[in-house]
Amino acid sequence: MSTGLRYKSKLATPAEDKQDIDKQYVGFATLPNQVHRKSVKKGFDFTLMVAGESGLGKSTLVHSLFLTDLYKDRKLLSAEERISQTVEILKHTVDIEEKGVKLKLTIVDTPGFGDAVNNSECWKPITDYVDQQFEQYFRDESGLNRKNIQDNRVHCCLYFISPFGHGLRPVDVGFMKALHEKVNIVPLIAKADCLVPSEIRKLKERIREEIDKFGIHVYQFPECDSDEDEDFKQQDRELKESAPFAVIGSNTVVEAKGQRVRGRLYPWGIVEVENQAHCDFVKLRNMLIRTHMHDLKDVTCDVHYENYRAHCIQQMTSKLTQDNRMESPIPILPLPTPDAETEKLIRMKDEELRRMQEMLQKMKQQMQDQ
């Protein structure tokens, strides 16, 4: 909401002083408007991954964030089934719309993470999945027809830390270290309604210390420009200070002080999910959806994907120089420039296209014969 208001107020000035500045007015100040229109027409997509042990309230939080139930008919495993469970990757995609803006939201769920008795390398399926999406995008980007590229790369990973401990556990550290160079990690303290305010402060400090100690690179909020208003700067400061967010989720609506609010009903009181004094849910929602969603996508594209791409290309060229003696149908020059790579890919795509055209021809003929 605040982003929309911000630039609209800037545009308000030309219209008022139209007569005076008419001669000097070029008109490219309407660019933001045009971008807005085009993007509304194109629609947005966002892929969010949620990870953490079972029972930390991940699905409830997703439900509270996006106000839709993505997990209908979910089957929860019993304890004995989970003893040697492997991690699965489940994707749920929904199309949601708000005020004409369409969002294709994909939630990637990781059931089974940290559930088995032996959790060695339980984050491997997840890193494989993230790498797979990068690879897919890399291939698509280097292809001939780039009109309809589907961006399935994971833009943000919400990692749920258990509030019942004293800080990060070995499995938390292992997961974050395996993924911090591939995905934007936003750590959260789950089920924060079991902690009194002093305990929350202590736990946040502890977690921040341990993140530094273990050298984990979580998602950093970008610095706000120096010409932003004081209000915004204050908000930004508060945001940075309250990381990691202590959240509570709820998919039930209860009656509190005459109002119907989303919350949890206890014999000793009602926890309101959207009450800033109770938990950081509102901060998380604002950050994730209302202010930083695009920044998350940008960091994924500009930093994580580029790292992957550079790494991938380096590997491929080093492999080529090794296999130089091998007979290859396409004459490949062992140059460490990306041109050779894309040429090879182009030729591969060429062949594929030819094959597909042949198949189409055959089908046409069959139809004609009939």
Considering only 85, 152, 300, 317, the residue that binds another protein (CB under 8 A) is 85
- Is the separation of the CB atoms in 224 and 238 below 8 Å? no
Tell me: does residue 170 bind another protein (CB under 8 A).
yes
- Is the separation of the CB atoms in 56 and 247 below 8 Å? no
DSSP bridge pairs for 312: none
**Would strands 156-161 and 44-51 be described as parallel, antiparallel, or unpaired?**
parallel
- Is the separation of the CB atoms in 253 and 262 below 8 Å? yes
Binding track, positions 136-165, relative to another protein; x by CB under 8 A: --------------------------xxxx
Tell me: does residue 215 bind another protein (CB under 8 A).
no
Which range of residues in 28-36, 39-47, 169-177, 356-364 is near another protein by CB under 8 A?
Answer: 169-177
User: Which pair of structure tokens corresponds to residue 155?
Assistant: 């833009």
Tell me: does residue 267 bind another protein (CB under 8 A).
yes
Tell me: does residue 253 bind another protein (CB under 8 A).
no
Closest separation in Å from C-beta 113 to another protein? 12
Closest separation in Å from C-beta 174 to another protein? 6
What is the dihedral angle through the alpha carbons of 213, 296, 89, 72, rounded to the nearest 10 degrees?
Answer: 120
Tell me: does residue 207 bind another protein (CB under 8 A).
no
What CA–CA distance (Å, rounded) separates 175 from 126? 9
- Residue placing its CB nearer to another protein in the complex, 47 or 187: 187
Binding track, positions 27-56, relative to another protein; x by CB under 8 A: --------------------------xxxx
Which range of residues in 112-120, 142-150, 222-230, 294-302 is near another protein by CB under 8 A?
Answer: 112-120
Amino acid at 353: L
Phi-psi region of 78 (alpha: psi -120 to 50; beta: other; left: phi over 0): beta
CA-wise closest residue to 43 among 107, 103, 96? 103
Considering only 14, 71, 82, 136, the residue that binds another protein (CB under 8 A) is 82
What CA–CA distance (Å, rounded) separates 178 from 322? 29
Tell me: does residue 79 bind another protein (CB under 8 A).
yes
- Residue placing its CB nearer to another protein in the complex, 133 or 187: 187
- Is the separation of the CB atoms in 296 and 219 below 8 Å? yes
Amino acid at 261: V
Considering only 278, 283, 292, 344, the residue that binds another protein (CB under 8 A) is 278
Chain contacts with another protein (rule: CB under 8 A) = 53-56, 76, 78-80, 82-85, 115-120, 122, 162-171, 174, 191, 193-194, 196-197, 264-272, 275, 277-278
